[in-house]
Structure 1
Amino acid sequence: MSYCLYCHQSYSETWSWVAFFGLKTEPLLCQSCTVKLELIKGDICRICGRSFSLFPEQYRQGDSCYDCIRWEEDEELAGVLQQNRSLYVYNDFLKEVISKIKYRGDAELVKGFYPVMRSKLKGISGDTILVPIPLSNERHYERRFNQADIIARGFNRDVHNLLERNAHEEKQSKKNRLERMKKKDNPFIVIDNNSIRGHSVLLIDDVYTTGSTLRYAAKVLIEAGAISVSSITLGR
């Protein structure tokens, strides 16, 4: 008998990730919770990984969504983020799960995503550096942990905390879409350029919303000498 990391209800292991995802590993979330997660699959934007099935056809052009087309028209940020891939649609259930992790301190809950995360990392070069998106010092002090760092450690690869935030910012969750995409000073700095130079980088974060955070982080990494920068997030 096991206990679900989210709802804490006991469940039998007769159902498994093998049946649900084809993964041979012990389940950490019960079936009732797992089926509420919507895996992103099918036709997606080649850059941000957004599922084309979730918005009208007129909001895409070829293999890209309009959001990414607008980013690629930005002289400062065009091309800095090669691609993003997210595991799940950011639906109401995943929103509640991530809120429980970030704002109620349930860091252990991240482990429920590790089996699927590891399957998504297959094919990524062993030379690629995993870099979590950092929190500000103030936010880290409030939470006592960085959820992106804990997510990154689930890939069973070395994690390199090579980014810092310049200053404390207003929470992204309090900004609307236009505010998130508005031009701003880059909030990130690279701690050690030598560790970045000549390497590909995989950024890790919890949610891709507009792509602003990941692109600004990618920009300073490219300026520090990274060959390319991509990202993986739990939600999109």
Structure 2
Amino acid sequence: MTINCLICHEEILSAVSWSTLWSRPQDHHLCQVCTGKLPFIRGETCAKCCRPFSTLELQFREGDTCTDCVRWNRDPEWWGILDKNHSIFTYDDFLKETLARYKFRGDYVLARAFTPFIKEKLKNLNFDCLVPIPLSPERLYERGFNQSAALIREAGFTPTDLLQRFHSEKQSKKSRLERIHHHQVFEPLSINIENKVILLMDDIYTTGSTLYHAAKVLKNAGAASVFSLTLARG
């Protein structure tokens, strides 16, 4: 059976051996070229948000933390709200185009392209609930699916809906300050999460505003800790 790359649609050619003949194919849906283009995060990163220090000028680093996270931590309103963010890739031009196809052009099947990388990351994370960042009803209707929930499902996990979201202007149209200081857009669903460890799932971490606002609602609802996993760190 011919298998085509989910990103470039070229046929995936794999070497045939006794092991491949007698074992089931892995859930890998990318060709070697596209896999090679994925900008995996490597080397030193911010201990809080996973931002690669290799892409950051020295003046924007304080010890093992980037200055963005230092600002979050120094604000009494946000200190201790989001325990840590984990990211898999940097948000370069290749990933930006791929995620645009996925989110804004309805290419749902691209969620499967990231399945093996999400599974591998989740092996080392402990959590009680895996929670997708919700879309507002208007945005969900517009896109047709929640991209964060799709990533969870395609990786073989069940998303737990703990939040609902009000409609607001797209985050991509807001400045950094507008994202950080916007009004709360989430509210909790009536589910008991007392002392639970919550792992939020989203596609991109940029300023961290979306994840911090979601984490604040969950912490106020009784969660013991709130972490996040994002595909990309912008």
Fold match (TM-score > 0.5): yes
Q: 2:112–2:155: 8 Å Cα contact kept in structure 1?
A: no
1:176 and 1:222 mapped to 2: Cα distance? Answer: 26
Which stretches in structure 1 are left out of the alignment for 5+ residues?
A: 16-23
1:36 and 1:110 mapped to 2: Cα distance? Answer: 17
Q: 1:88–1:235: 8 Å Cα contact kept in structure 2?
A: yes
* Corresponding position: 1:92 with 2:86: no
1:194-232 superposed Cα distances (whole Å, 9 cap, x missing partner) = 1x2121000000000000000000000000000000000
| Percent identical | 48
Q: 1:200 to 1:209 in 2, by over 3 A?
A: same
Structure 1 partner of 2:67: 66
Structure 2 partner of 1:235: 232
* Corresponding position: 1:211 with 2:201: no
Deviation at 1:128, TM superposition (A): 1.9
Secondary structure at 1:85's aligned position in 2? strand
2:70 and 2:97 mapped to 1: Cα distance? Answer: 30
Structure 2 partner of 1:169: 168
Q: 1:184 to 1:176 in 2, by over 3 A?
A: closer
Structure 1 partner of 2:49: 48
- Which runs of 4 or more aligned residues in structure 1 lie more than 6 Å from their structure 2 counterparts after TM superposition? none
Aligned residues: 224
Amino acid at match of 2:187: I
Within-5 A mapping of 1:69-218 = 69-125=70-126, 127-165=127-165, 167-181=166-180, 183-194=181-192, 196-218=193-215
1:100-134 superposed Cα distances (whole Å, 9 cap, x missing partner) = 01111001111010001100011323x52100000
2:218 and 2:208 mapped to 1: Cα distance? Answer: 15
Q: TM-score, with normalisation over the residues of structure 1? A: 0.91
Amino acid at match of 1:82: D
Structure 1 partner of 2:12: 11
Amino acid at match of 2:229: I
2:210 and 2:42 mapped to 1: Cα distance? Answer: 23
Deviation at 1:26, TM superposition (A): 4.1
1:131-151 superposed Cα distances (whole Å, 9 cap, x missing partner) = 000001100001110001011
* RMSD over equivalenced CA pairs, Å: 1.5
Secondary structure at 2:72's aligned position in 1? helix
Which stretches in structure 2 are left out of the alignment for 5+ residues?
A: 17-24
Secondary structure at 1:153's aligned position in 2? helix
1:79-115 superposed Cα distances (whole Å, 9 cap, x missing partner) = 1100001110000010001100111100111101000
Q: 1:26 to 1:141 in 2, by over 3 A?
A: closer
Identify the range of structure 1 (131-140 vs 27-36) with the bigger mean alpha-carbon deviation: 27-36
Secondary structure at 2:198's aligned position in 1? strand
